[in-house]
Chain A
Amino acid sequence: MAKKEKAGVREVTSVLGTPVKIHYGPEDLKEFDYGKDLGQPGEYPFTRGIYPTMYRSSLWTMRQYSGQATSESTNERFKFLMNHGQTGLSLAFDLPTQVGLDSDDPLAEDDVGKLGVAVDTLADFERIFDGIPLNQVSTSFTINAPAPIILAMYILVGEKQKVDRKDLRGTIQNDILKEYIARGTWIFPPKPSIKLVGDCVEFCIREVPHFNAISVSGTHIREYGANAVQCIAIPISIAQVYIEEVMKRGFGIDDIAPLLSFHLPVGGRDFNFFEDIAKLRAGRRLWAKIMKERYDTQDQRSMQFRFSTGGMGGGLTADQPLNNIARATAYALAAIFSGTRSMNLACFDEVYAIPSDLAIRTSLRIQQILAHETGVSDVVDPLGGSYYLESLTNEMETKMIEILETIDRKKGIVHEIENGEIQRELAQQSYLLQKKINSGERISVGVNRFSVKEEERDVEIYRVDPETRDRQLERLRQVKEERDSARVVQSLKSLELAARTEENIIPHLFEPLKAQATLGEIISTLKKVYGQYKEPKTV
């Protein structure tokens, strides 16, 4: 970032506080060893990419986060996106669903269908995927605490379509630990929540082998103030908690690691193009080393650091919103140069509301323009070997290792989350960054520089239909009226008994779901066993 002028040359310090030189050369890479530090694409330590041919064989998956108020409108939007060439679906849920409340819960009143689709029962889920053959799509679910229930619902929808669960493809976020640090859709305390994460992974290993059972996310942590290295190192640490949870059930690293993927940030309030590329390359190398050295694996699939990237809304501005298209383009370029396998790009109007059709399409078009009109997807890791980028990649990796060592010294990431330490650290960092933007030390175009006085024309904003909630309530009422309540009660009782044991709960979710027990009823049943999380004080 730019600092003060000195003798006509700007002083620049990296986000990590290191002075940035004016140019880089061989003296910055004295120890550089191509085979050891980079390797060919698709070869250990995978710095250049996890596959040998990358975008020459297949482009990244273009996946725009999409959530609509109702199951029908979500279904329509899925079909709309598929018609526009989108190659993967991404499902957002409304907040009540994410925290395990039914639409008719008084606490859900203001939030039904607001940020995504409301899912109360299996019937809602069936409508979302109506006419979409589940063996022909790959679906990504942004869901955490209720992940086991959503996974079970997807399997049941597949069954109804006569699609074998072995042919289901997709990703379920299922990363509860970051919810305590950022984003806040926790339900149960950390320990039982980790058990549930393990249940999903174990079930996928056994029954749904093409499903990425966890997407460990660094994006929310980044929005919460994590810097460029923390937003990779913390997810790597969290991933190891999940790995160990599953390993203690008798699985080997090569059963688990291939089902893990990461969702990592590009862009944001303190975006730096080269740092973002370097941190992702460094993460790829570090993960491969951890898998090989700590977990002693020989399996390439375990060493491959599979990640999708989220182009971050936090860096976008409410002022002069069309400028956000340019920002998103820079984020997308960084993501491509980092070798992302999938991209969800922030939309220019998301500072105001959930994205409109036009904004979603524009973000998709940015990706398509870069993919097809610019040549940036022609060569694997085209910036590899750059003196600057490689020294930055080395620095990032070193700093990530330091963070992981600190976490270990502090008795692990779960402990740091439980006592609120990590949350406090990020809240402070976030504050310091915001002060830099506030004071103009960090330039934000259209906000603290080049701003315009006159009112700008507002972008057209997507509005939730005010009748959404009423319709959803009516639907829920009908389901409750028509279902066999004795069957619901009995199946929830069995679920509770299973939850009191060490057993995997997923097989015990099918019967309540088929009986049209609601998500809220299932979560309430589990709360009796697991209890509820209480936030530590963090500011």
Chain B
Amino acid sequence: MGDGRRIRVLISKIGLDGHDVGAKVLVQWLRDKGMEVIYTGLRQTVDQVVAAALQEAVDVVGVSILSGSHLPIANRLLKRMAESGIKDTLLLFGGTIPREDAEALKAAGIDGVFPSHSNLEEISDFIRQNLKR
């Protein structure tokens, strides 16, 4: 982060899960940490999120899922992002995610996994330390 540009983050809800209190908390936290944060609202598809990430030229995409569908969604998202030529975007998942699944998500290529109740400071620190551009 040498260019002084503010970190741009897209927080999204993919799928039908309507629990977005955690997503909204994170949006506010990252804004307080000086980042520019766009929240997609509920019921997004993978394609919509990829399109928004491209259009908004974000540095970070965060996906909140509490419905247990994190693995298939992550796989599709990774595939679509690769197809769209998105390489330097940090990908984070959060929500109701069992420990062993967190490992599986990371193995698949998700950069950071933050289950419900994760420390907010840890998330913003992680973003700053792992930005890809």
Please, which residues of chain A bring their CB within 8 A of the CB of B25? 427, 430-431, 434
Contact partner of B68 (CB less than 8 A), chosen from A115, A183, A431, A458, is A115
A58-112 CB contacts (< 8 Å) to partner B: 95-96, 98-99, 101, 107-111
Does residue B109 face the partner (Cβ distance < 8 Å to A)? no
B19 and A438 contacting across the interface, CB-CB below 8 Å: no
Stretch from B37-45, B50-58, B84-92 that touches the partner: B37-45
Does residue A538 face the partner (Cβ distance < 8 Å to B)? yes
Contact partner of A111 (CB less than 8 A), chosen from B20, B67, B96, B100, is B67
How far apart sit A75 and B109, CA to CA, in the bound complex (Å)? 39
Stretch from A278-286, A293-301, A348-356, A378-386 that touches the partner: A348-356
B120 and A435 contacting across the interface, CB-CB below 8 Å: yes
Residue tally, chain B, CB below 8 Å to A: 33
A435-469 CB contacts (< 8 Å) to partner B: 435, 437-438, 444, 447, 458, 461, 464
B15 and A110 contacting across the interface, CB-CB below 8 Å: yes
The majority secondary structure among interface residues of chain B is: loop
How many residue pairs link A and B with beta carbons under 8 A? The number is: 98
Min CB gap A284→B, angstroms:
27
Does residue B99 face the partner (Cβ distance < 8 Å to A)? yes
How far apart sit A179 and B119, CA to CA, in the bound complex (Å)? 27
Residue tally, chain A, CB below 8 Å to B: 44
A351 and B21 contacting across the interface, CB-CB below 8 Å: no
Please, which residues of chain A bring their CB within 8 A of the CB of B104? none
B73 and A110 contacting across the interface, CB-CB below 8 Å: yes
A to B CB contacts below 8 Å, 21 in the list: A95-B17, A96-B16, A99-B43, A110-B72, A111-B15, A111-B16, A111-B17, A111-B67, A183-B19, A184-B18, A185-B16, A223-B21, A318-B115, A351-B117, A427-B21, A431-B28, A434-B25, A438-B121, A447-B117, A461-B98, A539-B39
User: 16 additional contacts, CB 8 Å, given A99-B16, A353-B68?
Assistant: A95-B17, A99-B43, A110-B73, A111-B69, A183-B18, A184-B18, A351-B96, A351-B116, A352-B97, A352-B98, A427-B28, A430-B21, A444-B117, A537-B41, A539-B27, A539-B39
Residues on B lying within 8 angstroms of A by beta carbon are 15-21, 24-25, 27-29, 39, 41-43, 45, 67-69, 72-73, 96-100, 115-117, 119-121
